[in-house]
Homo-oligomer: A and B are copies of this chain.
Amino acid sequence: MAVGRRAEKMEATRASLVAAARKAFAEKGYAEASMDDLTAAAGLTRGALYHNFGDKRGLLAAVVHQIDAEMAARAQAIAARAGTPWEGLLAEGAAYIEMALEPEVQRIVLLDGPAVLGDPSQWPSQNACLETTRRTVERLIADGVLKPVDSAATAWLINGAALNAALWTAASPSPEQALPKAIEAFRCLAQGLLAKPG
């Protein structure tokens, strides 16, 4: 196949930089993370960074894209394991709440991401998480399980509620106690979408 040693090495460089950035952004936050330190930790310099990602925002976008993809994959796997699509939606929401408890996700995707890259729905990476949820919602509407609401708006609301629930949980004095409350409140809310309450 011999894709060429050049492209191959460049991929390794990109992956290495994204990994270092992910760590630095998670620990120090976007604004406080120094490009010099970050690239040095990856055994490179800023030259590589600007060559591969254009600027600091481009690097953040790459990191967010990676995390977003991982989250969507995890959520999908969890939803698929549920008995019914409706249970799948609830499980998906709960999964998002738990994932958003990880400092990495919280700091990078929920706090710095929107502030630096703007609204997630217009991220180039076209938010995989949102798409996953939207498709689930659409299917549930088609099946008559949910009221005929707008699937995009609803997916956004559900994700927003879940992620905010996680922020609240993480900020509470005892997250372990808060988590079940957050998940319960989330499940209550979600029931409002059911065509036939109960």
Cα distance A30–B111 in the bound complex, in angstroms: 14
Please state the number of chain copies in the assembly.
Answer: 2
Residues of B within 8 A of A121 (CB): 167-168, 171-172
Is A145 an interface residue when CB atoms closer than 8 A count as contact? Answer: no
Query: Does A164 sit within 8 A of B, measured CB to CB?
Result: yes
Residue of B nearest to A186 (CB): B157
A171 touches B115 (CB 8 A): no
Interface status of A66 (Cβ within 8 A of chain B) = no
CB-CB contacts below 8 Å: A129-169 with B: 147, 149-150, 152-154, 156-161, 163-165, 167-169
Q: How long is the Cα–Cα vector from A197 to B118 in the complex, in angstroms?
A: 37
Contact between A161 and B157, CB atoms less than 8 A apart: yes
Contacts of A152 in B (CB 8 A): 168, 172
